[in-house]
Structure formats: structure tokens, C-alpha cells
Copies of this chain bind each other. A is one copy, B any other.
């Protein structure tokens, strides 16, 4: 409908360099069987006319289909649920973009079962995998094997730094813990007392790192507040409620509660039961229906989180880039640590 500024194509390139389409293609895709001199001529022509490859046309001609798997912990977990629906949402859009993405559940707490699932992946039918799993030697080996088989692999949410994974998509847990600590300390300006820390399990790398970051800042900047040992619920809501109640009873001066992992529902129940949720600062991780509602109700003061939509889209973009042997645009893939309070809840 409107005059278009034509972009140089391979045809223009071929003409400019005085060679055929096939040769241009060989040079562009760094295939062998072209004389040094010819290569140079084509490359010069690329610079001269400012040729940029049309990736969509290329993918079309290649009949490229990306087959990705996203490996997520199974079982009831609010955060993973939000991740799952983000994957669902994304895979619709991805389908139109020549990518098939399937979700694969893993038993979260059994390293051997996780490794078994990963090793059981049909690598011949897969181009890339995004994995959210705790770091264990078994998982590390499984990831290395996937890499050996030529797959693109990204660690999702929780890093697998000792493995051969291509990239980590997620946030720095130390920094997340530090962020929580600053808010906790500042929201409790001038007060003395104790801080309760709760989590599902301190086995998880995330929890350890968050706690580490949290403690560092608290000790450094808010010495008037003493942080108590972590309470672990081990997936047992009743245990969480009981431990929290006991802690509140034992210490008369609990000023704040830091929830490092899942289990926010029983935590909030225990706090409500304790009556005086009012004066205390509660900071939790991950935006889920529960934390969102708690934020709205004023039961939680701040949530430290990461955008699951970005997480998933980013993982998929990175996998795609790795498959194409293309550089990724780092700043776009850096997941931010979001601070959410009631007022900036979208």
C-alpha cells in the first residue's frame, strides 16, 4: 500500500560480488568449498551494500522447527504454577514462531529421579531444554550429557553453574536476599527486636543464598535487629503453622518475618491466628495468587519477585539463539529483581 524502501537481498549481493546465489549462501553460512578470494569479495560486498540477512526467510527455506522442552518440578507449588501458566501462554505464541514447547514434570526432591528424567529425554527429537532443578551431581552430569548430545540447555530460575549449561535465566539469589533485607531493615527503622525467617527447606540452593544475602545486610546495616535461625516447614503446612506460633510465643519482640520460599499460605494463617499481624513487617518471595492477595490486604508489605513471563520468553529466546548459533542480546535477557508493594502492583 505504501512505498517501501527495498532492503538489499542475496540477489543484490550476488550481483555486487559477481558470483552466484549459491556462492553467496556458502559464504554467508560459512560453508567450506569457497576460495579465500571469493569469500573476501562477497564479504566486501556485504559491507558495501549493507546487507542484513532476513532470518525469517532463512528459517522458512530451512524449514526450521525448534523443539524445546521445559523441565519443571511437579507437585503443588504456587510459584511453579505461575511459571507453568506462563509457559502455556508463551507456547501459543511460540507455535506461530516455529517452536514446539512441551513441559516435562520432574519429582522435585529426588535427584536420581530428576537425572533419570533428564537422561530419558529423547535428544534426537529435541533442540533445547530449559531446566528448573536443584543442583546435584546427578543433575550436573545429566546436563553435561544433554550438551554432549548437541542440545541447547539453559538453567531456569535456579542456576546450575557447575554444569555445561549455556546460560542461566533467573535472578541472583544473594542479591534478592539483600534486597529483602534492606526493605526489612528500613521499614523497621529505629526498632530493636527479632526477625523470623521461614522457608520450605534450607536444602535448596535458593534459600541458602537468599539467607546469606539477607544476613549479610542485616548484620552490616541493621545490627539492632537480630535474625533468628530459619524455620523449615518441609512441605508440611501444619508444621509451619506450629513453628511460627511457637516462635511468636517465645519471642515477645518479633518485628518482622522474612519468607524465603513457598509455604506462604500456612505462614499467613499462623500470623492471622496470632492476632497482631498489624505492626509487623512481612516480606515474601515470588508473586503468586497468595502473595498478591496478601499484598492487597496489607498482610504482606513487600514481595521480591521475578517476572515469570519474562523468564519463559527469555529462556525460549536464548534456546533459539543457541540453536541458530547467534549471539544473544544480554540486556534483554537479564531478569530483574522486582520489588512489589501494594502501590506498584500492576
- The chain A residues found within 8 Å of chain B, CB to CB, are 2-5, 7, 52-57, 59-60, 63-65, 67, 93, 95-98, 100, 124-127, 175-176, 178-179, 181-183, 186-191, 217, 301, 304, 307, 309, 313, 329, 331-332, 334, 336-344, 346
Contacts and interface: CB of A to CB of B under 8 A. Distances in A.
A341 B179 contact: yes
6 contacts: A53-B96, A54-B98, A186-B301, A189-B191, A304-B344, A339-B339
A300 to B, nearest CB: 13
A187 B343 CA distance: 15
Contact of A55 (B63, B96, B332): B96
B338 A309 contact: no
A189 B65 CA distance: 56
A343 B4 contact: no
Given A60-B60, A187-B186, A4 B341 contact: no
A92 to B, nearest CB: 9
A343 B217 contact: yes
A63 B342 contact: no
Given A175-B343, A187-B186, A189-B189, A56 B59 contact: yes
Contacts of A176: 344
Nearest to A337: B344
Given A2-B127, A336-B346, 8 more contacts: A2-B67, A3-B124, A7-B95, A56-B56, A182-B342, A187-B189, A188-B189, A337-B346
A30 to B, nearest CB: 16
Contact of A178 (B3, B93, B343): B343
A315 to B, nearest CB: 15
Contacts of A127: 2
A185 to B, nearest CB: 10
A124 B2 contact: yes
Given A309-B332, A339-B339, A96 B54 contact: yes
